[in-house]
Chain A
Amino acid sequence: MRHTHLPLTIAITAILTAPSIWAETSTDAQVKNALKPSANWQGSLILEGAYFDRSTDADLHVEGMPTGGHNHGFKEGLHTGHNELVVSGKLSDKLKARATTAITEKPEGEGNGLEAELEEAFVETQGLGNGVTIKAGRFHSDLGYLSGKHNHEWDFADTPLVYQGMFGEHTNDDGVQLSYIAPTKQLLQVGTEVFAGEKFPSGKTDKTISAATLYAKTGGDIGTDHSWQAGIGHWQANDIRDRSSAAHNHAGATETPRFSGNSKINTINATYKWAPNGNAKERNLKLQAEYFRRNESGTVDMVEGDGTIAETTGYKGKQSGWYTQAIYQFKPHWRVGVRHDRLKINNSADDKDVLEEAGLHSAGHTPKRNSLMLDYTPREYSRWRLQFNEDKSTPETDKQVILQYTHSFGSHGAHGF
């Protein structure tokens, strides 16, 4: 739960909604009118139910990958999944807002019951002019291709291994985004984001800005049947202080590894879509791939329960990963998909023992996963999905079956490319 950053979100929202934005166009009456629920606010509730079964009981933590994300994997059996409550609407003719609350069952080991997390709460400009869009609050980063997409927009029931490893599932954080689209025939977009929310893989820093990104996207059509998009992105966090990972039990003593130093991620992605005559309703194909590489340098401390530092070492982290997937809609409402995931970890430290104790030693195993899915979408608001994973995140192969049902009530705006 990261409710501690809520004040920041509110502050940013307040700044953006300050008179400079309102002055030009809005009167009190207009503001009141805009805030009337019936006028232009949309609400939607997206419910997910999932049945999950697996062949082993193994902990799927990837050896060598720093942890820190709040990962909601599927629980075995029939459970409610990732439910989203989305409220969005216009604040003025140039400003809109959106809030998404995720309601999920508590992860395994954290007891039973539901928990709510504010995934998004942002204001965004619309039609500012000259291709510029500004967003502020809590939002998903546009660094990668999947990074900006909600769970219910994913083509598989789970997120690629590389997203789990790099960001701990979601890339949302508190900050500001500035994006610019060039006046060109081929899409050319550049954007930058600054974050202050200390979200993994960043952490506490001495500065206000905990992480920053820079990204670019380009794309277009080839004839009427083909369209594509490609993007690059850079994420960086400097002077991270004491980013803690999950505690590891070694020989009875529980010590928590903490990383301090600099971290950066570089990424590249490409998406291609095919639809005969551009009429995707009948048949279409979507190919997509993303690659991420993280480099970290600094120190790792092993901290005991009472806060004393037991051991420390100089550390260089190198983790990379990619996935590639193909989704084919072979007839209206029916799609099949395949995905391959892979990670590569090559961390090093001055003191190898500490590296191993911290769970940052990869032990020579290459984590990978193959997935196969079939989904049926009888209406745009309801979808059944059956997915098989052959998960080799750990040396022991785990075979997984996921049956997922998603249903959305209300409307929440169209999905992007």
Chain B
Amino acid sequence: MKRILLSFSLLCSNALAHADLNIFACEPEWGSLAQAIGSNKVTAYNATTGLQDPHHIEARPSLIAQARQADLLVCTGAELEIGWLPLLLEKSGNAVIQPGKPGHFMAAEQVQLLDIPAKVDRSMGDVHADGNPHIQTDPRRIVQVAKALAERMAQLDTANAAHYQQGYAQFNNRWQTAMQGWQQQAAGLRGTPVVVHHKSWVYLQDWLGLQAVATLEPKPGIPPTTAHLTSVLQQLQTTPAKFVIHSAYENPKSAQWLSGKAEIPVIMLPSTVGGTPAANDLFKLFDDIINRLTSSRT
């Protein structure tokens, strides 16, 4: 039995020996970004989909098997994956993706974070001590991550270093152009008051100048309660909002309830690649976000 297993594993490792840079992306935006930079020199595996809540993922057998083989781990960090990534690192038996190694890349460490709390305790809900981790909704931060990621890929796979730098340069060119388009299209949104389900849009708000006047969750990570929704509704009497935003993986009921009572539209936004059918890469993700925000304007 053991001999069969051994020869089987040798077979597999031989098959992988000449393969690409094997990337384990915790969220699809990073898998998509790594693929955009590395193109045919990388294989990116996305541990989650755009319809999953990245806070609540289980360290499933499939994820352990993928983490075992990864050359580079690309995750958000800032405690977003605290419920499952530490366990994957523990179980994987993989040396190169451990914290402190070049194969351990955390996107949140490459950018300035918002919402950094002065203190953290349980009474505040699921507050992340390092700051708000939902950085992927700001394209300015995406490109900062892209630059650092390309450098990291070049460091790990020196033979293809030039390829990654070139991949980044091309991505950056396309991205800057696209970003100008999005900003123009969304210019009218600046200063718009909105209600959000979870504090997962602070970076989008920061970029587009949206004003979040209320959240449906009473505290981060605590599901909306009737009492809290009622108080939000009351608050909207004095400080009205233009629409309610929730992400593809959040239960839309609370947003719909408030929408009905306050007579403002609900906008479901993809929080990452794959959150909606249209958002099938990073460019399309922001196309879709901006389209959804601007087409609902009243």
Residues of A within 8 A of B (CB): 93, 96, 124, 126-133, 179-190, 217-221, 224, 227-229, 273, 277-282, 332, 379, 381, 413-417
**For the complex, is B94 an interface residue (Cβ under 8 Å from A)?**
yes
B159, CB-defined interface residue at 8 Å: no
B13 and A227: CB pair below 8 A?
no
A180–B13 Cα distance when bound, in Å, is 14
- Write the nearest CB–CB distance from A239 to chain B, whole angstroms: 24
Q: What residues of chain A lie closer than 8 Å to B165, measured between beta carbons?
A: none
Q: Which of B73-122 contact A (CB under 8 A)?
A: 82-84, 86-87, 89-101, 122
Min CB distance A102 to B, Å, is: 22
> Do B62 and A219 touch (CB < 8 A)?
yes
Using A93-B98, A129-B93, A183-B9 as known contacts, say yes or no to A227 and B60 having CB atoms under 8 A apart: yes
On whether the beta carbons of B83 and A182 are closer than 8 Å, the reply is no
Is B49 touching A224 in the complex (CB atoms < 8 A)? yes
Top 8 A-B residue pairs of the complex, sorted by shortest distance between their CB atoms: A219-B61, A129-B95, A127-B98, A187-B61, A131-B93, A187-B65, A277-B51, A182-B9
A129 CB contacts on chain B under 8 angstroms = 93-96
Report whether A219 and B92 are in contact in the complex, using a CB–CB cutoff of 8 Å. Answer: no
**Do the beta carbons of A186 and B65 come within 8 Å of each other?**
yes
Residue B239 is within 8 A (CB to CB) of chain A in the complex:
no
Contact with A along B30-53 (1 / 0, CB 8 A): 000000000000000000110111
List residues of chain B with CB within 8 A of the CB of A127. 89, 92-95, 97-98, 101
Bound CA span A131–B89, Å: 11
B56 lies within 8 A of A281 (CB): yes
- Assembly CA distance A65 to B49 (angstroms): 48
State which of B13, B59, B100, B222 has its C-beta within 8 Å of the C-beta of A417: B59
Name 18 A/B residue pairs within 8 A (Cβ), A-sorted.
Answer: A129-B93, A129-B94, A132-B93, A181-B65, A183-B68, A183-B69, A186-B65, A190-B5, A218-B61, A219-B61, A220-B61, A224-B49, A224-B51, A227-B61, A277-B49, A279-B249, A281-B53, A417-B58
Complex Cα distance, B122 from A379, in Å, reads: 10
Interface size bracket, B side: 35 or more
Determine how close the nearest CB of chain B comes to the CB of A327; give it in whole angstroms: 14
Q: Say yes or no: B93 contacts A416, CB within 8 Å.
A: no
A229 touches B61 (CB 8 A): yes
Q: In the complex, what residues of A have CB within 8 A of residue B122's CB?
A: 379, 381
Q: A93-B98, A220-B65 are in contact. List 19 more A-B contacts (CB 8 A).
A: A127-B98, A127-B101, A129-B95, A181-B64, A181-B68, A182-B68, A184-B8, A184-B9, A185-B65, A188-B9, A217-B61, A221-B60, A227-B62, A278-B57, A279-B53, A282-B251, A379-B222, A415-B87, A417-B60
B162 within 8 Å of A (CB atoms): no
- How distant is the Cα of A124 from the Cα of B96 in the complex, in angstroms? 17
Question: In the complex, which residue of chain B has the Cβ closest to the Cβ of A221?
Answer: B62
B93 and A130 contacting across the interface, CB-CB below 8 Å: yes
CA distance A210 to B90 in the complex (A): 28
B240 at the interface (CB under 8 A from A): no
In whole angstroms, what is the CA distance A189 to B62 when docked?
12
Q: Assess whether A181 is in contact with B92, with CB atoms less than 8 Å apart.
A: yes
Looking at the complex, which one of A124, A126, A188, A417 makes contact with B89 (CB distance below 8 Å)?
A126
In the complex, per-residue mask of B203-243: 1 if CB is within 8 Å of any chain A CB, else 0 = 00000000000000000001100000000000000000000
Give the shortest distance, in Å, between B57 (CB) and chain A (any CB). 8
| Shortest Cβ distance from residue A389 to the other chain B in the assembled complex, whole angstroms | 28
What chain B residues lie within 8 Å of A130 (beta carbons)?
Answer: 93, 95
- CB closest residue in chain B, given A230: B61
**Docked-complex contact B87 and A414, CB < 8 angstroms:** yes
Check A332 against B223 for contact (C-beta < 8 Å): yes
Does any Cβ of A come within 8 Å of B124's Cβ?
no
Taking a contact as CB atoms under 8 Å apart, the answer to whether A126 and B90 are in contact is yes
**In the complex, how many angstroms separate the beta carbon of B255 from the nearest chain A beta carbon?**
15
In the bound complex, residues from chain A placing their C-beta under 8 Å from that of B58 are 227, 273, 280, 417
Interface flag for B16 (CB, 8 Å): yes
Point out the residues of chain A lying under 8 angstroms from B60, CB to CB.
219, 221, 227, 273, 417
- CA A131 – CA B6 in complex, angstroms? 13
User: How far is it, in angstroms, between the C-alpha of A14 and the C-alpha of B5 when the chains are bound?
Assistant: 32
Give the shortest distance, in Å, between B135 (CB) and chain A (any CB): 21
Whether the Cβ atoms of B5 and A278 lie closer than 8 Å is no
B48 and A181 contact, CB distance less than 8 A: no
Complex Cα distance, B24 from A84, in Å, reads 35
* A98 vs B98: C-alpha distance when bound (angstroms): 19
